Amino acid sequence: MSVTVPAIRQNRPGPRRISNRALLYLALVFYLTIAVFPLYWMMMAAFKSDTDLIDTSVSPFWFRRPLTLTHFDQLFLHTNFMTWYWNTYVIAAFVLLITLAICVPAAYALARLHVPGGEKIAIGLFMTYLVPPTLLFLPLSQVISGGLGLGNNKWALVLVYPSFTIPFCLWLLIGFFKRVPLEIEEAALVDGCNRVQAVIRVVLPVSVPGILTTAIFAFTLAQQDFVYALTFTSSSSQQLLNVGIPASLIRGDIYFWGELMAAALMAGIPVAILYNVFLDYFVEGITGGALRG
Amino acid sequence: MRPLSIRVRRAAVVERRVRGRGAWLKLATGYLLTLPAILYILLLVGYPFLLSLYFSVNRVFIGGEYQGFVGAGNFTGLLDNPVFQRAFWNTLGFTFFSEIAKAVLGIGLAFLLLQPLFGKKIVRAFLMLPFTLPFALSLLGWQWMYDPEFSIINYLFGHELHWFQQPYPDWLGDPFWSYLAILIVNIWRGFPFAGVIILAGLTSIPGDLLDAAKVDGAGFFRTWHYVITPIIAPILFIGLIYDVTFTIGDLTAVYRLTQGGPGYATETLPMEAWQVGIVGGNLGQGSAITLALFPFLLIGVVIFLRMLYRRESL
C-alpha cells in the first residue's frame, strides 16, 4: 500500500528537519546569552572574592578562589539595605492598596453600569499611562516639597505612584469585570440580593483572580520606578532599593562592585519573577484586549 | 432557593428596577464610583501637567522663587542652545535606532517563541529578564560590564576573540562608544517586549480566517493586505508607541551610565531637564525642556487611540 508511505516518512526526522532543529537551538542559545549574560555576570561579581574580581591573570568568566558571601554580609551589616528593602515593600504595598481601593469600584462601574461616556472615561484614563514621569517630575517636585511639605519623605511616593498604577490597573480590571457573565449577577438579583449584595457575594468572588493579578501588577510597577524615587528622596533612610543601592555603594569614584551586584540581584530577581507571572496580562492589556471583554 | 412564583415576581421587580426608577440611581452610583479614579489622575497627572505649562512660560526656581512671566523666553532660549539641540537629537536618535534594533531582534524572538520548545515557560522567563528586571538595577550590572578596566565585553571581544584592537573601547568615556553603550542597554531592555508584542500579533490571526481567504481564492498578496495586515498592524503599532514613549522619556539609562557625558555626547532631554530643573533649580527652563517631548507623546497617543479603536471594531 503505497498510500501509507508519506505518513511514515513524515515521522522519521529527515536531514532537513534536523538542521531546522539545530538552527532553532542555535537561535535560542543566542537569545538566551544576550538576555541572561548580564545577570550571570552580576552573579559572578556578587559571589567572587574581591581579589578574584580584579585578578586579570585568570579568565574572568569563572572563579579561582572560593566563592564567598562577604559582599552579602557587608550589605546587611554596613549599609541600609534592609531599610531600603522594607521601604520598597511597604511603599509598594500601600500603592497596591490605594490602587485597588480606587480601581475596583471604578472598573466595576465602567464595565457594568453602562455609564454614558464610560468607555471614553476608561480610555482617557488609560492614555495617561503614556505620560512618562519625565514630563511630570519637575512640577511634582514643587507640589510635593513645596505645597505638601513631603520633601525627602518616602511617603510622597505612596501618593505619586498610583498616578501610573491606576491607569493600567483600571484598564485591566475593566477587562476582567467584563468577562464575568452578566447572568450570574442577574441571578443573584432575582434571588433577592440587592445590587451591593450581588456585587459582594457573587461578582467579587468570581473576580478574585483578576483582582489578584492587578494587585501583583501594581506591586511590581511600584518597584520599577526610578525617576520619582530619585527626585523625592535624598537621605538614605528614606530611599528605596532602586535609588538607595547606587547612592550608598558608589562613593565618588569608588564602586563597591561585589556589594552593588549582590544588592541589585536580591532586589531585582523577586520583581522579575512577579512581573513574569503577569506578563501575558500586561501584553493583552496594552494591545487592547480589555476593550473587547 | 425560593418558590418559583416568588422568583418570577422578583425577576419582574428587578427588571423594572433596571429599566425604570433605579436607572438614575444606577447612573449616579456609576459616576460616583468612577470619581475617585478621575480625581486622582486629574490631581496627580492633570494638575502637574498644567503646572509644567505654567512653569515653562515663567521664571520659576526651586523653593518657590517666582521671578515673573517670560512668555516664550524659556523656549526661544533653548532653540539656539547647542546642549539642547544635542539632547534633542540624541533623544530621537536613541529612540529611532533602538526601535529598529528591537524590531529586528523581536521578530526573531517571536518566531523562536512560536516553536515548540522544551521547558518553554522557564525559557521564556529567562528570555524576558531584561524587561522584567527593574531597569535601574540591571543597569548596575551593565555599568560593571562597561567598566573601563574590567569590562567583560572588551575581555571577550578583545582579549579572547580579537575583534577589538588595543586600545579597547572606553565604553563610558568615549563619545562614540558611550553613545553605543546607551543604545545597547536600551535595545537589551526592550527587545523581549518587542518579541512578545510581535508574538501577540502573529498569534492573533485566527486560522479559519486564513482558510476562508484561501477558499475565497485570495492569493498571498491579497491575504496579506486584507487579512494579515489589518489584524497585526494595530497590535504592532500599539506596542511600538508604548515602547517609544518609554524610551523617549527614559532618564534611568543615561543618568546611571553617563550623566549625559562625556561632554554632551549622550545628553538626552530627560537628562538635561534633570540637570537644569533639579540640579540647577531652574524649574521654568527645565519644564520647557520636558515639554519638547510632548509633541511626540501627543502623536503617540493619537496613533494609539486610532489603533485601539481599529482593533475593537474588527
Residues A163-179, mean pLDDT to the nearest whole number: 88
* C-beta contacts of A253-256 below 8 A and 24+ residues apart: A255/B143, A255/B144, A255/B147, A256/A71, A256/A74
B119 pLDDT band (50/70/90 cuts)?
confident
CA distance A78 to chain B (A): 20
Q: Do B64 and A42 touch (CB under 8 A)?
A: no
Report whether pLDDT(A4) > 60: no
Nearest to A163 among B44, B51, B291 (CB): B44
**Does residue A293 register a pLDDT over 50?**
no
Specify the pLDDT at position B134.
93
**Which ranges constitute the DSSP H helices of chain B?**
4-19, 22-41, 47-56, 73-79, 82-114, 120-127, 129-132, 135-145, 152-154, 175-202, 207-215, 220-222, 229-248, 252-257, 269-273, 283-291, 294-313
Instruction: Say whether pLDDT at A242 is over 50.
Output: yes
pLDDT of residue B165: 81
Shortest Cα distance, chain B CAs vs residue A119, angstroms: 11
pLDDT digits (tens, 9 = 90+) for B241-257: 888 988 998 999 999 99
- Predicted local confidence at residue A145, as pLDDT: 82
- Non-local CB neighbours of B161 within 8 Å, separated by 6+ positions: none
Best B9, B34, B55 residue to mutate vs chain A (most A CBs within 10 Å)? B34
Question: Nearest by CB to B239, which of A241, A264, A286?
Answer: A286
Cell digits of residue A185: 449577577
pLDDT digits (tens, 9 = 90+) for B71-113: 888 888 888 889 999 999 999 999 999 999 999 999 899 988 8
pLDDT at residue A234 is higher than 60: yes
| Per-domain boundaries in chain B | 4-42, 82-313
* pLDDT tens column, A33-70: 999 999 999 998 888 887 777 777 777 877 777 788 88
Mutation pick from B45, B247, B299, B301 vs chain A, by most beta carbons of A within 10 Å, is B45
State the pLDDT at residue A291: 53
The C-alpha of A218 sits at a distance from chain B's nearest C-alpha, in angstroms, of 14
User: CB-based contacts of A147: which residues, under 8 Å, 6+ apart?
Assistant: none
- Mean pLDDT across the stretch A133-151? 85
Residue of B nearest to A121 (CA): B38
Minimal Cβ distance to B312: which of A60, A135, A292: A292
Domain A79-292 grouped into CATH 1.10.3720.10: yes
Please enumerate in sequence order all residues whose Cβ is within 8 A of that of A155, keeping only pairs 6 or more positions apart, or say none. Answer: A91
What is chain A's mean pLDDT, rounded? 84
A192 contacts B2? CB cut-off 8 A: yes
Start-end of CATH 1.10.3720.10 domains in chain A = 79-292
Evaluate if residue B4 carries a pLDDT over 80: no
Work out how many CB contacts closer than 8 A connect A with B.
299
Question: Rounded CA gap, A60 and B153, in Å?
Answer: 11
Euclidean distance between CA atoms B73 and B55, whole angstroms: 11
Which pLDDT does position B12 carry in this prediction? 58
Rg, Å, chain A Cα set = 26
Compare all CA atoms of chain B with the CA of A170 and give the residue at the minimum distance. B37
CB contact under 8 A, B250 and A54: no
> What ipTM goes with this model?
0.85
What is chain B's mean pLDDT, rounded?
Answer: 85
Q: Do A132 and B248 touch (CB under 8 A)?
A: yes
Residue B7 has its nearest CB partner, among A135, A190, A276, at A190
Q: Both ends of chain B: CA-CA distance in Å?
A: 42
Measured between alpha carbons, how far is A122 from A13 in angstroms, rounded to an integer? 52
Distance separating alpha carbons of residues A114 and A124, to the nearest angstrom: 16
Q: Nearest chain A Cα to B159, which residue?
A: A59
Nearest Cα of chain B lies from the Cα of A131 at a distance, in angstroms, of 7
Q: In terms of CA atoms, which chain B residue is nearest residue A123?
A: B305
CB nearest A41 (choices: B141, B269, B270): B141
The CATH architecture annotation of domain B82-313 reads Orthogonal Bundle (1.10)
**Which tens digit of pLDDT belongs to each residue from A246-279?**
988 888 888 888 889 999 999 999 999 988 888 8
Q: What is d(CA B200, CA A280) in angstroms, rounded to the nearest whole number? A: 9
- B42-55, pLDDT tens digit by residue? 999 999 999 999 98
pLDDT band of A8, cuts 50, 70, 90: very low
Q: In chain A, whose CA is at the least distance from the CA of B152?
A: A60
Q: Which of A134, A202, A241 to mutate to test the interface with B (most CBs of B within 10 A)?
A: A134
Q: B13-17, B274-278, B294-298, B308-312 — which is least confidently predicted?
A: B13-17
Which of B125, B196, B283 comes nearest A142 by C-beta?
B283
For residue A83, the model assigns a pLDDT of 92
